[in-house]
Structure 1
Amino acid sequence: MPVPAPPVRPPIAPGVTVVVRDEEWLVTSVDVTNDGQLLHVQGLGALVKGTTASFYDSLDDIQVLDPAQAMLTPDASPGYRRTKLWLEATLRKTPVPLSDDKLVVSTQMLADPLAYQQSAVRKALSPDNLRTRILLADAVGLGKTLEIGMILAELVRRGRGDRILIVCPRHVLEQMQHEMWTRFALPFVRLDSVGVQRVKQKLPATRNPFTFYRRVIISIDTLKQDRFANDLRGHRWDAVVIDESHNVTNSATQNNRLARILAPSTDALILASATPHNGREESFAELIRLLEPTAVTPDGRLREDEVKRLVVRRHRHSPEVANVVGADWAERKEPQNLLIPASAQEDAVADELDRVWLHPQGSSPYSGKVTQLFPWTLAKAFLSSPAALRASIHNRIRTLQAHPAPDQQRELDALHRLDKLNDASYATAGGKYGRLVSYLRAIGVAKDSSTRAVVFAERVDTLHWLQQRLRKEFGMAEDQVTVLHGGLTDVDQQEVVESFKQAGSPIRVLVTGDVASEGVNLHKQCHELIHYDIPWSLIRLEQRNGRIDRYGQKVSPQITTLLLQPSSQTFSGDLVVLTKLLEREEQAHKALGDAASLMGKYSVEAEEEEILKVLAGQQDLDEVVADVATVASGGGLAGLLARLSKAPAQPTASAANHPRTLLYTKQVDFLRDALQEAFRTPAARPQANGVGWKEYPQDRIAEFAPPADLRQRLEVLPATYLSDRKVLEDFKLVTTPTRGQEVLAEALVDTSSHTSWPEAHYLGPLHPVLDWAADQALASLSRNEVFALRGTVDVPTVLLLGTLTNRRGQVVAASFMAVEFYDPDSPHGFVTPYGTPQEMLEAVGLTGSASNPGAPAGIDKLQALMPAAVRDGDAYLEQVFVAAADSTQQRVDDWVQRTDAWMDAYESDVLIKRSEVKQRRIGVAEEKKLLASMAPDRQLLRPLAMILPADHPVAAPPAAPMATGPTLFTGSEA
């Protein structure tokens, strides 16, 4: 016999209360699957309070509580504290609708209120977009990480950020985690090598870590591992961030394949890169396709109107930026390009390179057949350091000796002769190294000084050579001159970066390779950057300089380049090319904010190859490196991005965009009341049924011992932070944003600490502590109850909240209303709508302080008004939600039709490979499925409270309760 299909249940909307397995749960989100509706819930009942679970409606008996049957319960608490807590918690848990473009939480975080960053967030959240898809292509130093955090914070408040994946370079994993937590109160688990080991110990091999951890920060290299790559398939995300996204543009790489898996499996996709393409339109188009497949025509052409909608591009001197950064981004000093006469030993090496290898009178000794540019590889190593040249010579000798050929003896002889000359240079101080030492002394670097410097060099051999010599030269300890390069483990790299930010760090000279040129913030304690060698790439120069020349740099940064000048006229002339390269980077910095567009290669390796050809006399520099003015006024990608960066400054967000809490003046007031209600004596010792609550108003700090269910929510944070700051034992919270910024800054200058994670954490609106407190408040009422209390109304009034949601459980529209009953015997009330919950609460007198004379009498008689209020509210919602539903459905339909037409054109193009068509079809099909789930299909009405006139009679007082023991709260707080 055929198995009967499970019964089709009516759609269940987030926000509704359900009873499953005889426990009460709040539905937080709903996924529509092939097996029915999957409900994600939070426990409200006594046994499940503070827990989360997921239930399929096809497997469990799910009872949806009827709002018309909500029971009234009188509120006799002081100042109606119980009602205010419950209402505040309910409204906090109700997502802001997708159509609301106001910045509701990101402006209350620990980020400076910069208009250009806020405009990027508003663009990402624009109601014209069905979902958040954006490429943050701001130039180096503008704070893309903060923009990412602000967007994610707004998505969380809209119920669209429960499951978030951030993919970033491995050396900035902790930096990203630190910024998300300290500034935005978003806790992420960090899956670096240590985090991966924790996963292996905690989870069985068959368990998908992405279902266990809701918010994850991971590197692309770790994500490539078979375990994680396989776990990605079939997993849905609310938001995915790919930082340094230019690393995923090559369609032939595994990075790109991972990006293609992620893009259609997430609602929001945020890409970030200061160099968003490699000069080829197809690479930039690949990023745009990830965001919106139909924004690129089937034949690969960009649709400029879509690019403008999907891309944010500004630089230091864009109107939108220059007008607001002020003293928080000190203008860089005029760069110093120091020409240093070579020592006698260096001159001998340079002369040998010039006469024998670079500009030989006869044939070159180089026997390679693939390229004749190897001699310039030797020259580049020489310009880096004697150690780098020694490594290059020895590597080449080993290669030749491994596969000897008769015609290679001449090259071996020349290499040995060059090696001998280089040994003499290696053993002496040298002109360039000596100039580095004198410069470091001149700026104040010393063993017992606080002055710091970053020294960049390309070759690892140079880094270690400099480290050893500088330690000895300055008499410094081992940890005072530190090397950072890509060969270190991810944990070691993060430790170096983390240490260098802090005033208490022992590091005085950070000698680093180009691994630190992307994404790393080195400006907190440093404003001196020295190029010990010159990267033959404008991109790399720009990236290096951006480590200290960025927003938040209070001291004008000084960029210094050491240029070795041999006496050889020919070789010296070659250095003119490199000097001009430095000058062009500075011009591009001021005019374009994008040095890469001058060469149009958008790849470090490709730029280096072109410069090599210039040095070898095969091309002219002006042919390879374009004039800045020409690029700014030209077409193509460079011209398009230049036009985007010149957009006029956006208006600053109005104060109306920054609502605070609804019923509480401060976040700490809500937390304090929630603890008082949940624990009665929260200031008592934790062992005595309290949490040890203390407040220090002068310091604007509160502290308490987190209970077990709260500690569980914080365990995704770094174990070192939790233990060093004793977070799980005594959680310190900063109660104002000003003090929060101070505490963050103090953590960096605290010489007694070895961490930049602050001792006290800012209590922002998304803080897990407040979410936990809201759960406590929601669990305070019994099943399907609402409070009855007095307010500034003339007749009994029922407050209602209506929401329209889509199949993904996202709130499309919300409506707040009051149903007033002027005639208690009438079956109908009068519906008064309000634009915001604040307006509704103010209208009934709940936003101010109030005294409670006692529980209202006659609740049983008023109970009959609840079904009537729900019925009237439902009828009103059906009218007001029609327009919102039609508008959203029309946008979904338009997108699907546009996608269908695009796919037809794609499949009919005979020039496109069939494998490519299949891959694109699968990706677009996933996009269509995701978009279709955004069409609204369910409506929910929730009673919030019944408000009675102020003169409503008081019920008879209950018998005096038994004493519960002393409390440390006094006055009205008791």
Structure 2
Amino acid sequence: MTLSFAPGDLVRARGREWVALPAPREGLLALRPLSGGESGAVILDPRLEIMPVEPARFDLPADARQTVQAKAALLADALRLTLRRGAGPFRSAAQLAFEPRIYQLVPLLMALRLAVPRLLIADDVGIGKTIEAGLILRELMDRGEVDAFSVLCPPHLVEQWVLELRSRFGIDAVAVTSATAARLERGLPLSQTLFDAYPHTVVSLDYIKAEKRREGFARSCPNFVIVDEAHACVGTGAGKQQRFGLLSGLAQDPGRGIVLLTATPHSGDEEAFGRLLSLIAPEFAEMNFGSERYRQQLARHFVQRRRSDLISEGWDEGRAFPKHESYEHAAGQLGLPYRLSREHLDFQEAVLDYCFARVERAAGDQKERRLAFWGTLALMRCVGSSPESALSALRNRMAKESERLESQIYDEDGDDEDAVDLEPGINFAADPALLSLVEQAELLTSRSDPKLEALISALKPLIKDGANPVVFCRYLATADYVRDALRRAFPKLRIEAVTGVLTPDERRDRVADMVPSEDEKTGQRILVATDCLSEGINLQQIFDAVVHYDLSWNPTRHQQREGRVDRFGQPAELVRSIMMFSPDSAIDGAVLDVILRKAEEIRKATGVTVPLPEERGAVTDALMASMMLRRSDTRQLAFDLRLEDGTEAVAARWRDASENEKKSRTMFAQNAMKPQEVAPEWAKAKAFLGSPAEARSFVEVAMARFGVPLEPRKNVLVAHLQGLDAGLRERLEQREMKGSVRLALVEPAPTGTALLTRTHPLTSTLAESLVEASLDPEALGSLGIGRTGAWPSKAVQKLTTLALLRIRFKITVHARKERLLLAEEAALVACQGGQVVYFGEAAREILLTEATSDLAPGARERFVARAQSELPTLLEGPLADFARARAEELMLDHARLRTASGSASRVTVVPVLPPDVIGLFSIMPDEV
């Protein structure tokens, strides 16, 4: 006869006890070891087993090993840390290695209300869109609704996503890029695609968008997709059109969940916004933006919040973000001005003369003129950056031509992110006048630099106030030049540079290595970086100020730079930023007039930074006109080229962008959910699972109990795993942990380390091993981790029985497709006189209170025997009632959360009785 087992039932198979999980299909059993973790789960067919699969019971044996108060407390912590199938409405809470803010749960609630989750999350930079998307993914995985997924993102964000998923959400994903795809595909059978073999992937958009890969990916793409920097997938460029073609093909499957992430969804371009929204639902592309019906329908799929929304609208998140203070020299100034020396002015004038001669020579040929414009602007950017970058550009100019000149000028995100900080190679040929400019640039590299002196003057008060600045430069040569100068100016500070010559891993390592150690005389740092760091690596744990040494010509790039430090998780209360410019510089003045002042006006009016208008021809004309009109001898040339029209055209585009952004903010602000609808449920989840600080404390105590205490070393803790018990070492090796393991305590974690959290392999392995040691007398017997005990304590006034319970619940989701889930909780329950008197933190306080003395062996045996004799009555009465009451409470929690999210589904929660008694401890008053 074949027995039928439901999730939560205990069974005996292959010589041990298991918990039945939801089975993948009828006739099979999914089992997890009763005394092990999720990693030991198996799927078996009972008909193929040598010994029959039978029902089992979990009893507290009469001869259960005894233990002392400290080890009983350690066991309780271990049990809580082993549980991964949370019973509360946030199923994913047990899997998270961090504590999300309440506002970050709103997109999750929005996703849960949709039959197929399709969202556009457009929160401002630094609020935490990656966290919000990861929460949705983790929750859907833990609810059994998502088995496979792909994250699509720009190539420079791939490793960051892999790291975030692993370190924050406990999800192992593989990176699929042009560098890794061939290795991943090697050895796969012809019938199996890379995405069949690896269900969890982070994919470079620029790798997968190619036509030869796009169709194959569309056929094997998982049913849940996250798209980061989604705004880069709509627009007029060839690369953007390829990305949009890929995504629109994926969106045609109505059953595929899609979460789009962008900080700039609208950007004043309604057509591009409509195309972006068409990936959520095709009808959004054609709907009237002004209609109430449109807004109501879109509100279910679109969330867009500014930082001010979270501070002023009841979310109480003022403490989650620092105050941002930007330097303004005087009324009307946008940043910190500095004056050029006579030598630098003369060099600028000589370069302009040379460039304008080239422009005039090309005036009759539209293509040649446009190339001359780009060459002029590119070279002037380098001149304004530093003598070193000017010299590099002049030499590159003689050596090669650039095919990406326009995108480099305007700081567009290109396919080749490694070249983001290289000085441009320009299309002018070498001649005597050019050689003369090279000589002038070489001479300037050995003279005093007024821009550099202004930087040092600006940094001194910041350093005096204890700040740790990041100095952003546009070009690689400038970054090295600034780094060397700052080392001379601030010899006692740690100063490093991160540029595109480093690989992504090397960049992350260099940043992580700048975390100060406790024994250093000064922990202050200065990081000099190019825009290879403006996205992808978060810097808020180390740095708290930003200096824009070079102006970016893309206003959103300034926002991205500052967003590396001015973001969720910044411990400093104040973040400062300084933007440097010279009123003597023709190029700085042109950029300020045409781009940055206009962008700042829109930012003040709307609260967001709008990207540069996509039609760059007018912007190029306006910049050239602005430079020419600053010099009286070139006014006629400007008139002849009709460049004034470009200035007016770009001003009109800025006005349109401003009005469209104001309209967008009015229409699409997401304020549907209130904090009080979310916060209580998350607070309950935290209380049952324990905090990251408690997880770290557990690991420190547990390793000490194993005789191998953690070794503090600079910015990490070192766990010497080779000193552990052989069985424990073997289990850790199965999780790719051996030797001496470095555990990071703060982010960013250096390569070769991981942040120590409740989900870290060392934490979970230690917790699982300690629970198993209490259940199996032959496992780690030398530790003395037992399941029973008795001791006197000042925490009680009456004889108290503490029961450490593992309660399993069957959760049924009554929806269009009914689902049965298994959940577990650890509970401490204190009984006096056959009644439950304390549970939760109150019971935990009793257990943690140190015993006042040690009982004589005979007395301890009597108290333990008395508690065990009363256990059957407790299990049938008060402990069973406690489990039922907890199930009722959980059912109300689920109902409340589903009401808040607008979900129509219903949830029932039923406890599996009797609960498992992991530990039973008798606590008596101290005077006894």
- Smaller-chain TM-score range? 0.5 to 0.7
* Matched letter for residue 346 of structure 2: A
Q: CA deviation at 1:812?
A: 6.3
Matching of residue 122 in structure 1 with residue 114 in structure 2: no
Q: Cα RMSD between the aligned structures?
A: 6.7
Q: Percent identity?
A: 19
Report the secondary structure of 1:530's partner residue.
strand
- Aligned mates of 2:450, 2:256 — CA distance in 1: 57
2:902 corresponds to 1:944: no
Aligned to 1:369: 368
The Cα shift of 1:656 comes to 4.6
Partner of 1:962: none
Amino acid at match of 2:380: A
Whole-Å separation in 1 of the counterparts to 2:652 and 2:735: 48
Q: What is the CA distance between 1:380 and its match in structure 2?
A: 2.2
Q: Do residues 493 (structure 1) and 507 (structure 2) align?
A: yes
2:143 to 158, 167, 191: 158
User: Cα deviation per residue 1:204-250 (whole Å; 9 max; x = unaligned)?
Assistant: 56698877777666655677899999996776768654433334446
Using the alignment, how far apart are the partners of 1:545 and 1:668 within structure 2?
29
Task: Classify 1:858/1:86 alpha carbon distance in 2 versus 1 (closer, same or farther; 3 Å).
Answer: same
Alignment partner, residue 580 of structure 2: 562
The residue that corresponds to 1:274 in the other structure is: 263
CA contact (8 A) 1:452 1:508 kept: yes
Alignment pair present for 1:624 and 2:655? no
- Structure 1 counterpart of 2:388: 387
Conservation of the 8 A alpha-carbon contact between 1:103 and 1:122: no
Give the structure 2 partner of residue 543 of structure 1. Answer: 560
Q: Secondary structure at the match of 1:496?
A: helix
**CA–CA distance in 1 between the matches of 2:226 and 2:776?**
37
- Pair 1:258–1:545, CA change in 2 (3 A): same
Cα separation, 2, equivalents of 1:219 and 1:718: 26
Partner in structure 2 of residue 313 of structure 1: 304
2:663 maps to amino acid: G
Which of 594, 599, 609 in structure 2 is aligned with 1:595? 609
Q: Which amino acid letter does the alignment assign opposite residue 304 of structure 2?
A: R
Is 1:513 aligned to residue 551 of structure 2?
no
Of 278, 282, 296, 2:284 maps to 296
1:246 aligned onto 2:231? yes
Q: Deviations over 1:412-452 (max 9, x none)?
A: 4543343343333333223323322343345448xxx9754
Describe the shift of the 1:533–1:310 C-alpha distance in structure 2 as closer, same or farther (beyond 3 A): same
Q: Which amino acid aligns with 2:447?
A: T
Cα pair 1:133 1:310 within 8 Å, conserved: yes
1:3-42 matched pairs, under 5 angstroms = 15=8, 26=19, 28-31=21-24, 41-42=31-32
AA aligned to 1:457 is C
Q: Do residues 139 (structure 1) and 149 (structure 2) align?
A: no
1:649-676 deviations in whole A, cap 9, x for unaligned?
A: 83344435432589999999999999x9
Indicate if the aligned counterparts of 2:231 and 2:264 stay in contact, CA closer than 8 A: yes
The residue number in structure 1 matching 2:550 is: 533
Cα displacement (A) at 1:575: 0.5
In structure 2, distance between residues paired with 1:716 and 1:600: 54
Amino acid at match of 1:578: L
Distance 1:558 1:195 in 2: 38
**Residue 438 of structure 2 is aligned to residue 419 of structure 1:** yes
Q: CA deviation at 1:502?
A: 4.7
Match of 2:812 among 797, 804, 809: 804
CA separation of 1:162 and 1:89: change in aligned 2, threshold 3 A: farther
Does residue 655 of the first structure (1) align with residue 639 of the second (2)?
no
SS in 2 for 1:373: helix
Separation in structure 1 between the aligned mates of residue 204 and residue 689 of structure 2, nearest angstrom: 40
AA at the equivalent of 1:243: D
Indicate how the Cα distance of structure 1 residues 663 and 137 shifts in structure 2: closer, same or farther if over 3 A, else same: closer
In structure 1, C-alpha distance between the alignment counterparts of 2:755 and 2:82, rounded to whole Å: 30
| Residues 16-37 of structure 1: CA deviation (Å, up to 9, x unaligned) | 66788888765545556xxx88
User: For the structure 1 residues 670 and 776, does the alpha-carbon distance in structure 2 shift closer, same or farther, using more than 3 Å as the test?
Assistant: farther
| Shift in alpha-carbon separation, 1:939–1:350, aligned structure 2, 3 A | closer
Unaligned runs of 5+ in 2: 330-334, 404-426, 628-642, 711-716, 778-799, 801-806, 844-862
Q: 1:777 to 1:852 in 2, by over 3 A?
A: same
Q: Which residue of 2 aligns with 1:344?
A: 342
171-180 vs 511-520, greater mean Cα deviation: 171-180
Of 463, 466, 469, the residue aligned with 1:453 is 469
State how many pairs are aligned. 781
2:99 corresponds, among 100, 106, 111, to: 111
Deviation at 1:140, TM superposition (A): 1.3
- Residues 482 and 507 in structure 1, CA contact (< 8 A), matched pair in contact too: no
Alpha-carbon distance between aligned partners in 2 of 1:194 and 1:502, rounded to the nearest angstrom: 36
The equivalences for 1:193-272 within 5 A come to 240-249=225-234, 252-253=241-242, 257=246, 269-272=258-261
Q: Please report how far the alpha carbon of residue 308 of structure 1 lies from its aligned counterpart in structure 2 after TM superposition.
A: 1.9
CA-CA distance at 1:578 after TM superposition: 1.1
CA contact (8 A) 1:345 1:430 kept: no
Question: How far, CA to CA, are the matches of 2:498 and 2:16 in structure 1?
Answer: 54
Could you tell me whether the CA contact under 8 Å between 1:329 and 1:554 is conserved in 2? Answer: yes
Separation in 2, partners of 1:847, 1:236 = 51
Change (3 A) 1:618 1:189: same
CA distance in 2, matches of 1:346, 1:129: 61
Tell me, in whole angstroms, the C-alpha distance in 2 between the residues paired with 1:383 and 1:287.
37
Instruction: State the shift of 1:580 in Å.
Output: 6.7
Structure 1, residues 82-133: CA drift from partner, whole Å, max 9, x if none? 9x99998999565658xx4x68838996436x443333443333xx212444
Corresponding residue number in structure 2 for 1:907: none
Q: Superposition pairs for residues 52-91 of structure 1, below 5 Å? A: 52-54=41-43, 76=62
In 2, Cα distance between equivalents of 1:442 and 1:671: 37
Task: Tell me which residue corresponds to 1:326.
Answer: 318
| Distance in 2 separating the partners of 1:410 and 1:619 | 30
Unaligned 5+ runs, structure 1: 1-8, 403-407, 677-681, 695-700, 728-742, 782-791, 793-798, 817-835, 864-868, 895-934, 949-966
Distance 1:91 1:398, change over 3 A: closer
C-alpha separation in 2, matches of 1:774 and 1:257: 49
Q: C-alpha separation between the residues in 2 aligned to 1:401 and 1:167?
A: 29
1:951 paired residue number = none
Corresponding letter in the other structure for 1:142: I
State the match for 2:663 in structure 1.
Answer: 639
Looking at structure 1, the residues matched to 868 and 402 of structure 2 have their Cα atoms a distance apart, in angstroms, of: 96
CA distance 1:161–1:389, shift in 2 (3 Å):
same
